[in-house]
Chain A
Amino acid sequence: MPKYILKRCIIAVFTLLVLITIIFFLVRLLPGDPFNDPKVTDEVRARLEAYYGMDKPLIQQYFAYLGNLLKGDFGVSLIYTGRSVNSTIAQTFPYSADLGLRALGLALVVGLILGTLAAQKAGRVIDYVCVLVAIIGVSMPDFIIGALLKLIFAIKLRVLPAGLWNGFSYTILPVVALSFYTLALITRLMRSSMLEVIHQDYILTAKAKGLSNFQVIWRHQIRNSILPIVTVMGPLVAAVLTGTFVIESMYAIPGMGKFYVESVHDLDYTMVLGMTAFYGIFLVSANLVVDILYGIVDPRIKLAESKQKADDGEEG
């Protein structure tokens, strides 16, 4: 197991490095630059570039940036003087994390329950309802769902707030809108993987032991059918994360997604880079956790590991 984790960690660090490198050079390739303003004279521009170290060769800037990153310094904004990327992240990320975690939690709980229910009642009405929910959720983009929910519950029925993030009632619409796609995906995955598990011989064994239906489902079916879900958790976290861009703008939530979009628009190089690096670190760690979780849930991975160890031992 430790070897498995170490291997994953090395891969994670490497992935991050590649990501940051690509973004660093890609942002510079975008047409225009942050000081692209008629009011900025050449002289002022030269001073600004010198101030931010942008007069040096690109490759030198790259290594300087990496060096700062290692110290945990994401740099300062090129647009808003005196605002550091770190403080922006510190201010906005909690909102995004709150929104994202709630959405993910909702998607997981409801998705797993719906998927299990659908598989259990395969071919009956409940199954069809769940499948319908799944199809709608997967095929409708979150901005449409977000807009629809807002229209119905905030504007027509006036039962829930249409924006901002000031308490539980404010969270309902954006969280539901953001979780819908993930929820649908989990429902679908859980249903199909559970249907497969239901027909396995060991489920018959479990029934032949005299376990109740609930015990069979809880102890024998869920654990085996959850594996495919654990594998896609990484991409799902990513889906929720990118969803926050849209939902935060739509519901005027002062989260990181909103700032990210603005920074790209302003060509605020350091801000874009810093936030990308942050998202990158976040996603890669999420994937890492998932990989490790997978190893815990599925003993076969542990097994492969210990076998490998045994083989190594023989060689050594």
Chain B
Amino acid sequence: MTETKPNEMTGTPAAEDALLSIRDLHVEFKTYGGSIRAVRGVDLDVAAGECIAVVGESGCGKSVTAKSILQLLPSHNSEVTGGQIIFDNVDLLQYNDREMQKLRGNKISMIFQDPMTSLNPTMTVGRQIAEVLIKHQHLSREEARKKTIEYLAMVGIANPEKRYKEYPDRLSGGMRQRVMIAIAMCCNPRLLLADEPTTALDVTIQAQILDLMRGLQQQFNTAIILITHDLGVVANMARRVLVFYAGKVVEEGMADDIFYRPRHPYTWGLIKSMPRLNSEKKEDLVSIEGTPPDLFAPPKGCAFAARCDHAIQLCLEKDPPMFNIEGRHCAACWLAMENMPDALRPAWMKAEKVNVEDFD
């Protein structure tokens, strides 16, 4: 810890090589009870061809962030109240509906959590893919059909000619997610938003789908934002990880930083609650105690303080900014600040490489 040079970061400029740069994004939902501040100042960068992971408990604003990139939030009750979403050097928040339509499914596409409900039950799977090709690449029906069959084969669906004509009911969850991937990838997008793409699938299928995505990412050099609440999914996929909590990024770094040198107690909580294959005391596997804060009225201080074992008075009073730890690794925790007395820091925070078993 001594050789690191933590310093407070203020308003990071958009990274030069970033394909997508989200700056200080704020999203609110208007409800009868008041405004829900679902996203509260998120910064996020993705370089071309890079795969990053966004992790966090459910309800922390992951999906809302992703949907706001494509302006897919419900228009009647949600509002982006601040920030920028810069894609290819243009702020998407300035785009109108028409311009967004040209982008969606073409340069940026998205796949969703539940493949069972994400496909139209009254349209053949083939047409659901072909539709995208006709829309964005202006192919004729016949050309689109041929290309769709190629894509069906590419995402690992056997007998694509036959499958083309089938309705989603005939396909298993894993197959349907493959179809969703084909829909998302058929226009060769620069960025894929994958919102919990494997959460609804069983474990063996999960691995296959992740493999498929990794393969396609390399083949097409597509950047991926992989959203998940399961750190286990992240390990083999993402180079970089962002940890979300209560609508904010609380820690960010290369996957190794996050897994082996976490600097935020929330990240540490996530790591501890990961199922471990060699763990003998499976029953001890607890998720983080407590509940996330009320997003109607987020606390004045750190949003995690109420659940944090190491919180000090300062945490309750002032929301910590992002402190740079090393390279791109940074954490929004007062204990990660450079001149914080070492005695306040828990052992795992000081370790060069933590081993979860040592701290149980």
A297 to B123 CA separation, bound complex (whole angstroms): 10
Which residues of chain A have C-beta atoms less than 8 A from B121's C-beta? 202, 224, 299-300
CB nearest neighbor in B for A201:
B117
Which residues of chain B have C-beta atoms less than 8 A from A300's C-beta? 121, 167, 169
Candidates A122, A208, A220, A299; contact of B104 at CB < 8 Å: A208
Q: B76 in the interface, Cβ–Cβ < 8 Å?
A: yes
Which residues of chain B have C-beta atoms less than 8 A from A123's C-beta? 76
CB distance from B231 to the nearest CB of A (A): 25
Q: Is the CB of B135 within 8 A of A209?
A: yes
Q: Is the CB of B120 within 8 A of A299?
A: no
Given contacts A123-B76, A201-B112, contact A210 B180 (CB under 8 A): no
Given contacts A205-B112, A210-B135, A303-B170, contact A298 B105 (CB under 8 A): no
Q: A211 in the interface, Cβ–Cβ < 8 Å?
A: yes
A72 to B104 CA separation, bound complex (whole angstroms): 61
Q: Is the CB of B123 within 8 A of A208?
A: no
CB nearest neighbor in A for B113:
A201
A-B interface contact total, Cβ < 8 Å? 77
CB nearest neighbor in B for A303:
B169
Q: Is the CB of A212 within 8 A of B101?
A: yes
CB nearest neighbor in B for A215:
B135
CB distance from A96 to the nearest CB of B (A): 34
A263 to B38 CA separation, bound complex (whole angstroms): 70
Which residues of chain B have C-beta atoms less than 8 A from A207's C-beta? 72, 104
Interface of A, helix, strand, loop or mixed by DSSP: helix
A223 to B114 CA separation, bound complex (whole angstroms): 21
Q: A5 in the interface, Cβ–Cβ < 8 Å?
A: no
Q: Is the CB of B123 within 8 A of A210?
A: no
CB distance from A246 to the nearest CB of B (A): 37
CB distance from B98 to the nearest CB of A (A): 8
A235 to B109 CA separation, bound complex (whole angstroms): 44
Q: A117 in the interface, Cβ–Cβ < 8 Å?
A: no
Q: Kindly supply a per-residue 1/0 record for chain B positions 276-320, scoring 1 wherever the CB is within 8 Å of any chain A CB and 0 otherwise.
A: 000000000000000000000000000000000000000000000
Given contacts A200-B117, A202-B117, A298-B122, contact A209 B112 (CB under 8 A): no
CB nearest neighbor in A for B70:
A208
Chain B residues 159-208 with CB under 8 Å of chain A are: 167, 169-170, 180, 183
A206 to B105 CA separation, bound complex (whole angstroms): 9
Candidates A210, A212, A215, A299; contact of B122 at CB < 8 Å: A299
A299 to B239 CA separation, bound complex (whole angstroms): 43
A202 to B113 CA separation, bound complex (whole angstroms): 11
Given contacts A209-B131, A219-B131, A300-B169, contact A204 B72 (CB under 8 A): yes
Given contacts A210-B104, A211-B135, contact A297 B122 (CB under 8 A): yes
CB nearest neighbor in A for B184:
A208
Q: Kindly supply a per-residue 1/0 record for chain B positions 37-59, scoring 1 wherever the CB is within 8 Å of any chain A CB and 0 otherwise.
A: 00000000000000000000000
CB nearest neighbor in B for A213:
B97
Candidates B105, B119, B122; contact of A223 at CB < 8 Å: B122
Q: Is the CB of B119 within 8 A of A210?
A: no
Which residues of chain A have C-beta atoms less than 8 A from B106's C-beta? 210
Q: B103 in the interface, Cβ–Cβ < 8 Å?
A: yes
Q: Kindly supply a per-residue 1/0 record for chain B positions 67-84, scoring 1 wherever the CB is within 8 Å of any chain A CB and 0 otherwise.
A: 000101000100000000
CB distance from A290 to the nearest CB of B (A): 17
Q: Kindly supply a per-residue 1/0 record for chain B positions 111-138, scoring 1 wherever the CB is within 8 Å of any chain A CB and 0 otherwise.
A: 0101001111111000000011001100
CB distance from B127 to the nearest CB of A (A): 9
CB distance from A207 to the nearest CB of B (A): 6
Q: Is the CB of B183 within 8 A of A202?
A: no
Q: Is the CB of A204 within 8 A of B112?
A: yes
CB nearest neighbor in B for A209:
B105
Chain A residues 172-186 with CB under 8 Å of chain B are: none
Which residues of chain B have C-beta atoms less than 8 A from A212's C-beta? 101
Q: B224 in the interface, Cβ–Cβ < 8 Å?
A: no
Which residues of chain B have C-beta atoms less than 8 A from A298's C-beta? 122
CB distance from B23 to the nearest CB of A (A): 23
Given contacts A210-B103, A210-B132, contact A201 B169 (CB under 8 A): no
CB nearest neighbor in B for A202:
B120
Candidates B97, B102, B103, B118; contact of A205 at CB < 8 Å: B118
Which residues of chain B have C-beta atoms less than 8 A from A204's C-beta? 72, 112, 118
A251 to B232 CA separation, bound complex (whole angstroms): 75
Which residues of chain A have C-beta atoms less than 8 A from B167's C-beta? 299-300, 303
Q: B331 in the interface, Cβ–Cβ < 8 Å?
A: no
- Among B112, B120, B132, the most chain A Cβ lie within 10 Å of the Cβ of B120
A303 to B166 CA separation, bound complex (whole angstroms): 10
Which residues of chain B have C-beta atoms less than 8 A from A224's C-beta? 120-122
Q: Kindly supply a per-residue 1/0 record for chain A positions 142-165, scoring 1 wherever the CB is within 8 Å of any chain B CB and 0 otherwise.
A: 000000000000000000000000
Q: Is the CB of B120 within 8 A of A220?
A: yes
A207 to B167 CA separation, bound complex (whole angstroms): 20
Which residues of chain A have C-beta atoms less than 8 A from B70's C-beta? 208
A208 to B131 CA separation, bound complex (whole angstroms): 12
Q: B110 in the interface, Cβ–Cβ < 8 Å?
A: yes
Which residues of chain A have C-beta atoms less than 8 A from B135's C-beta? 209-211, 215
Given contacts A201-B117, A208-B105, A208-B110, contact A219 B72 (CB under 8 A): no
Which residues of chain B have C-beta atoms less than 8 A from A220's C-beta? 120, 123
Chain A residues 59-109 with CB under 8 Å of chain B are: none
Which residues of chain B have C-beta atoms less than 8 A from A211's C-beta? 101, 105, 131, 135
* 19 A–B contacts from the bound complex (CB under 8 Å): A204-B118, A205-B118, A205-B119, A205-B180, A207-B72, A208-B112, A209-B104, A209-B105, A209-B131, A209-B132, A209-B135, A210-B104, A211-B101, A211-B131, A223-B123, A224-B121, A299-B167, A303-B167, A303-B170
Question: Which 10 pairs show the lowest CB-CB distances between chains A and B?
Answer: A210-B104, A209-B105, A210-B105, A201-B117, A299-B167, A202-B120, A208-B110, A201-B118, A210-B101, A209-B132
